[in-house]
Each structure stands twice: as structure tokens, then as C-alpha cells.
Amino acid sequence: MKPRSTLTKKTSGYRLGIDLGGTKILAAVVDANGQIVGMAKKKTKGELGPDGVIKRIVDTASNALDVAKVSLKAVTGAGVGAPGPIDYETGMVYSAPNLPGWDEIALGPRLKKELGVPVRVDNDVNIGTLGEFTQGAGIGCQNMIGVFVGTGVGGGVIINGQLYRGFRYAAGEVGHMVVIPNGPLCGCGRQGCVEAVASRTAIEKAVRAGLAEGRSSLIGELLVAENDRFTSSIIEQAMTAEDPLMLEVIGNAQFYLGLLVGNLVNALDPEVVVFGGGVVEALGDRFLQPIRDTARAHFIQQRWLEKVKIVPAALGDNAGVLGGAALVAAPIRKG
Amino acid sequence: MKPRSTLTKKTSGYRLGIDLGGTKILAAVVDANGQIVGMAKKKTKGELGPDGVIKRIVDTASNALDVAKVSLKAVTGAGVGAPGPIDYETGMVYSAPNLPGWDEIALGPRLKKELGVPVRVDNDVNIGTLGEFTQGAGIGCQNMIGVFVGTGVGGGVIINGQLYRGFRYAAGEVGHMVVIPNGPLCGCGRQGCVEAVASRTAIEKAVRAGLAEGRSSLIGELLVAENDRFTSSIIEQAMTAEDPLMLEVIGNAQFYLGLLVGNLVNALDPEVVVFGGGVVEALGDRFLQPIRDTARAHFIQQRWLEKVKIVPAALGDNAGVLGGAALVAAPIRKG
């Protein structure tokens, strides 16, 4: 027998993981061991509408295959995370916030036609949670909750080793659990959701309100222009400098995220709560420790407090594509 | 062949369902079709301590078997609901509120020894939820949340057709989800739990505080003495008379129970939310409709609002014993 070159790609067993976001599309080719063997990235250009964006998804997937030197014939399926509520069984995106024109778009069937492989579509935060569960901070546990703090606050729920989607495929919307009755207005139109106090959007709003009130703060220097981007890096710099306004606003966000975790643990008693998203990545344990403390103080079951792990996500931006690839192997069923 | 008398009891396939409460013990013999064929009831007499109470549980079970004319030999197992946190795998009761001396009592093994049949023990509210799921208001669904409003507020979670217990067997404590940060003191020592505004205990506290402030109210006549029992029936009478103080206090409880349900639906998207307990039984849909309205207004997924049923429990006091019997057939495993 001729020895096989280690550079020889296998000719089967690859999966495509695709993460469709409001600003960028990520695609990865993942091998049977869950390793990424090629990746590509494109701007979403949502203004092109569903047809244009779907074409860009296909192009990104194609680029990832080129990078990986894997042909579509070697791909068993694609798993896609997309924003907004999705019918997981049919692959239809009901609506996608930040993507104009996405109104009941049959993303799964359309990508299947373009790519020629089976395609599964699920909510992007569910997919990120699945990625962290299968290959990140939740490896080996059975019950996990993912909380992602970015421009919004999203979540996902793993029960008995599987992504739990709920009756209307609407489970995991932990960002819209109300923690302050009649509290600050949320992007969803309601009041007092966690997202309305703890998302980067809410943090920015509170900080800008403080600046407008004339509070002296380093952030005034970091944000020179009114429309300068308020990034997680700016939050990190202000926190490192112990800027009082930022400490106050972040402290508030941490308190309510802690309450949220306490509430979720009292309802679901998971083994692990994974925190991901830009703010968490930028601040790390500085962000998480106060959340942990508040959460544990609110656990009704005070035995084995430390058994419930509250940990940072491990995969960063790759959670979505790895979760997408994991979706290919998951059973299609209700619940 | 001789015709069999319809009075002849079968000689196998019966299960014992036992509901251990702070004030009373209920036991039922349940046949293979889930029908109760005999029941008995005793006062708990918690002051007798664990040994005395365990003897009374055995006596109650024995009385139920007598009433059913079924011998222990025909019983395949017993399922017991007990208050407090419980190790479902070993049948140990860690502690039982309202039952003095219950500190790590091996209730399962001790009852197994006394009764001579396999015994499973779980939290009483879990068992009530399981009863409503298998034979009550949740029949046929896959994902259900039970909320029981009585002296406290308890809950149970059914996921994918099975009781979900969580990592530390502590899931379902929905009464201790915080809905008012820094809100009224709860019996658990924390602040602003749903239980602190919506339990009968909380309702009584708020009503008595109103009376003490000199508010004119029919309840002053219904509760003649300071230590008159504040029953669900008194709540019902005052509501029927449209007593302003009671309407206000109940309205407040309903609002926060509605928020709780909204939060739970956003996290778990169940098919059915079942409301049980004395207050719900006494007031019926008058109690539930405002809860439904508030909950639905808080659903983040506004599609198919009515698909998520919010309904009264169907089994009343029998939910516990029927859930206990259902437990006998359930698999023992984590999660």
C-alpha cells in the first residue's frame, strides 16, 4: 500500500457552518472532528435585500470551501445561524432585525437549491449556544444556558444534551425577560427587559445620557464625535481607567444580568451558564465576577452554589459557524 | 369460562401515590389506567418529627389500600411528593419547610423498607406538575410549566414530555424569580420574589397592612379576629363583592404573576402554562384572565400568542397523588 500524504484531504464528512449577521457573514468548513479547515468572511450588505444577501452567503461558503480545498461533493450538509425568529423545521426566516426585506424568506430551501446539500437554519443565538455547548465552554455538560451580551442580549437553552427550541421555536429570549417593571424602554417596545439595561446599546445610551447631563468622564475624550462608534474596546478602556460614569453604568448592567442568571437558575438549575458577546470578551472576568456574585446571592437552592458554573464563552466569533456545523448532525424534531 | 365479576380487583399493576404536605398526608391507590381506586387522608402532625410522620405516611397508604381493597402485593411501587429540596436519585429529603426535624431524612429508603415496594420521592410541586401533565390540564402537550399559588408560589417544568429537574434537582423554583428588584421581603429572606407579592401569605400581609392603615374594607368584617385564617374563600368573597382593597392587592399579584409567565414564556416557550393552588381554584378565570393579558403583552414572540395556553389546573388536590403514581413509571435519570 502506498502511504497517504498527510496533506491529502478526505473526500467526505465535511460540514459547512454559516453565521449570517447584520453586518457580516462568516462561513467555515468543519471536518468530522469538529475542526475548522477553512474559513471566509464577507460584509452582509443587507441593503441588497434577501436575494443579494443569499448570493453573498453562497459566495462566502464557496470561498471557505476554496480556502479549505474541499469540494461541495465532500460536504454532507450546511447549518446556518440567522437573526430573528425562524421555523427550524422548514428553514424559513420569519423576519430578521437589521436585514431589510426579510419577511418570511425560505432561507433553508433557497440555500439548499444553491448549494446542493441539505441545509438547516436556526436562530443565530441558538447556534452560538450550540457551538459553545458542543465545542466551547459547555463541553461535557447536559444542561446549559448561553447568554450573549452585544448590541442586544440574546440567549439559548440546552436541555438534556440538546438545543431546546420551545413550542413556537421561540425559546431562549432571555434578553427580553423583564427585570425592572416599568423600567427603561427596550428596543422591543416593552419596558425593563434585561436588554434595556445590559446590552451595549443600553450601556451606550446610559453613558451618553450621563455625558449630556454634564458628568465629567473619560468617555467624553474617547468618544470625540457624537456619532463615534461606542465599541466594547471603549468600554474596556474606560473600565481600566476606573471611570466613575462607566463603572456605574456597567455596575448596573452587571446587577441586572446577575438577577437574570439568578432567575434562570431558580427556574432551570443548569450546570453551566456561558456568557459570550463583545462586552464579555473585552472585559473578561472583571465583567463576570459581579454577575456571578449577584446571581449566587439569588439562588434559592443555596447548597452547592459553586456547582453551577458561570463562565465566559470560549469560542469567540467562531461559536456561530461551529454551532452551524453541529446543527447538521442534530435531529430535526419539535421541542 | 365463568364470567368475572366486575367487582373483582385485579391482582397487579396498582401504584401508590402519596402527597406529604405540611398539614395533611394524602395517599391514593391508582390502577394501570391512572384511575384512583381508593384514597385516604391524615393530618401530618409534623410535631411528631420524622419518625412519627413516616409512620403516619405508612398508615395513610395502608388505609388507602384498605379502601381500595387492594393488597400491597398488587402494588408495583409508590411515588411520593414531599416539600423541600430532594435528591430524586436517592429519595433523600434535604430539608422540609414546616416539618420540624426534617434534616437529610432518607424518606425513600425508609418507606421502601416499611412498604416493601420500590419508592420514588420528588418535590411536591414537581409531583403536582407531573400529575397535571399526565392526567390534568397538560394532557397531550410536550412542554409545560406548572405554577402553583398557595401559601407560597411553586412551580414545575416539563420538557420534551418529561419532568425536568435540573442539575442539582432544584429546577422549577419559579416563585423565587425576582420580579421587583429590592422589592418586598420574601419568606426566603430575599427581596422581590414573585412569592413575596403573589402568594396567599403575601396577599394576606398586604391586605392586613391596608386594614392597619385604616382603609375601609369588607375584609375587616370577614376577618373578625387578628388570627382568623385568611383563606382562599375569604379572598373569593371579597373579590365577588368588588372590595377595593382586595381588588388592588389581587391586581398587584396578577400583574407580577403575568410578568412571571411572560418571562418564563420568553425563556422556554412552552405549549401550556398550568395555574393551580387554592387561590386559583377559588377564583378561577377571574384570577387567570388578567395574568394571561399581562403575560401575552410581554411575549417577545408576538406571533401565535394564543398558541401558548394559560389554563387552570384540572385535578385540584388530586394532582399530587396522581403525579406520585405517575412517578413510579418514570425513568430515574439526571436532568
> How close B11 gets to chain A, by Cα (Å)?
37
What does the pLDDT look like over B168-192, one tens digit per residue? 999 999 999 999 999 999 999 999 9
Return the C-alpha cell found at B119. 419508592
B79-107: pLDDT as tens digits: 999 998 999 999 999 998 889 999 999 99
Q: Which residues of A touch B166 (CB under 8 A)?
A: 143, 268-270
A94-128 per-position pLDDT tens digit: 998 889 999 999 999 999 999 999 999 999 999 99
Measured in whole angstroms, how far is the alpha carbon of residue B128 from the centre of its chain?
A: 5
B269 CB neighbours in chain A (<8 A) are 165-171, 173
The pLDDT confidence band at residue B221, using thresholds 50, 70 and 90, is confident
- Mean pLDDT for B74-78 is 97
CB of B46 within 8 A of CB of B100? yes
Mean pLDDT, range A222-234, rounded to an integer: 79
Contact partners, residue A183, CB within 8 Å, separation at least 6: A191, A192, A193, A196, A197
Contact state of A173 with B270 under an 8 Å Cβ cutoff:
no
Taking CA B111 as the corner, what is the angle to CA B110 and CA B114, rounded to the nearest 5 degrees?
90
Asked whether the predicted pLDDT for residue B334 surpasses 50, the reply is no
Q: Looking at beta carbons, which residues of chain B come within 8 Å of A297?
A: 190
Distance from CA of B186 to the nearest CA of A (A): 11
**Cβ of B188 and A300 within 8 Å?**
yes
Whole-number pLDDT of residue B223: 80
Mean pLDDT of B60-86: 96
Nearest by CB: B167 against A143, A164, A256: A143
Local confidence band at A225 (pLDDT 50, 70, 90 cut-offs): low
pLDDT in tens, A214-223: 998 998 888 8
The residue-averaged pLDDT of A119-146 equals 97
Burial, B98: exposed, middle or buried (Cβ in 10 Å; 0-12, 13-18, 19+)? middle
The interface predicted TM-score (ipTM) is: 0.94
pLDDT at B331: 59
Q: How far apart are CA B259 and CA B253, in angstroms?
A: 10
Please give the model's pTM, rounded to 2 decimal places. 0.94
Say what the pLDDT of residue B4 is.
Answer: 47
The DSSP output letter for A185 is B
pLDDT in tens, A29-50: 999 999 999 999 999 999 999 9
Chain A residue whose CA is closest to B301 = A170
Gap from B330 CA to chain A (nearest CA, Å) = 16
Question: Among partner residues B159, B176, B256, which is closest to A266 by beta-carbon distance?
Answer: B176
Rounded to an integer, the average pLDDT of B48-75 is 97
CB pairs under 8 A between A and B: 150
Residues 6 or more apart in contact with residue A308 via CB below 8 angstroms:
A265, A269, A270, A271, A272, A273, A296, A299, B167, B168
Are B160 and A160 a contacting pair at CB < 8 A? yes
In angstroms, rounded to a whole number, what is the distance separating the alpha carbons of residues B147 and A78? Answer: 40
* B87 residue type, one letter: D
Percentage of residues of chain A with pLDDT beyond 70: 94
- Specify the higher pLDDT residue, A332 or B157: B157
Q: Would you say residue B333 has pLDDT above 70?
A: no
Q: What is the mean pLDDT of residues B143-171?
A: 96
Which residue does chain A place closest to B147, by CA atoms? A267
Confidence of residue A142 (pLDDT cuts 50, 70, 90): very high
Under 8 Å between Cβ of A308 and A315? no
The confidence score (pLDDT) of residue B335 equals 38
Beta strands A103-105 and A36-43 are: unpaired
| Max CA distance (Å), chain B | 78
**Which residue of A lies nearest to B178 if distances are taken between CA atoms?**
A263
| pLDDT, position A12 | 83
Indicate the residue of A174, A256, A335 with minimum beta-carbon distance to B142: A335
Report the relative pairing of strands B92-95 and B103-105 from DSSP bridges. antiparallel
> Nine-digit cell at A253?
448592567
Mean per-residue pLDDT of chain B = 93
CA distances from A51 to A102, A106, B19 (A): 10, 11, 60
pLDDT of residue B226: 60
The total of other beta-carbon atoms located within 10 Å of residue B47's CB is: 10
Average pLDDT along chain A: 93
Residue B9 pLDDT > 80: no
**pLDDT value for A46:** 96
Name the residue facing B168 among A177, A263, A307 (closest C-beta).
Answer: A307
What CA–CA distance (Å, rounded) separates B300 from A304? 33
The DSSP line for A254-290 is HHHHHHHHHHHHHHH--SEEEEESHHHHHHTHHHHHH
Q: What is the pLDDT of residue A1?
A: 46
The reply to whether residue A300 touches residue B155, judged by beta carbons under 8 angstroms, is: no
Whole-number pLDDT of residue A5: 45
CA-based nearest residue in chain B for residue A301: B170
pLDDT at A329: 78
Residue B277: is its pLDDT beyond 90?
yes
Tell me the average pLDDT across A178-189.
Answer: 95
Q: Does B171 sit within 8 Å of A268, measured CB to CB? A: yes
- pLDDT single digits (tens) A253-303: 999 999 999 999 999 999 999 999 998 999 999 999 999 999 999 999 999
Residue A87 has pLDDT above 60, yes or no: yes
**Which pLDDT belongs to residue A132?**
98
What's the Cα-to-Cα distance from A201 to each of A185, A212, A278, B77, B288, rounded to whole Å? Answer: 12, 16, 12, 56, 36
Quote the CA–CA distance of B171 and A270 in Å, as a whole number. 8
Query: pLDDT band at residue B332, thresholds of 50, 70 and 90?
Result: low
Q: Which residues contact A136 (CB under 8 A, 6 or more apart)?
A: A274, A313, A314, A315, A319, A322
State what percent of residues in chain B have pLDDT above 70.
94
Query: Which of A167, A180, A307 is the closest to B181 by Cβ?
Result: A180
CA distance A102 to chain B (A): 16
pLDDT value of position A3? 47
Closest approach of chain A CAs to the CA of B312, in angstroms?
Answer: 19
User: Widest CA span of chain A, in angstroms?
Assistant: 78
Task: Give A-chain residues touching B85 at CB under 8 angstroms.
Answer: 301, 303
* CB pair distance less than 8 Å for B301 and A271: no
The shortest CB-CB distance from A267 to any of B142, B172, B181 is to: B172
Q: Rounded to an integer, what distance in angstroms lies between the CA atom of residue A223 and that of residue A241?
A: 15
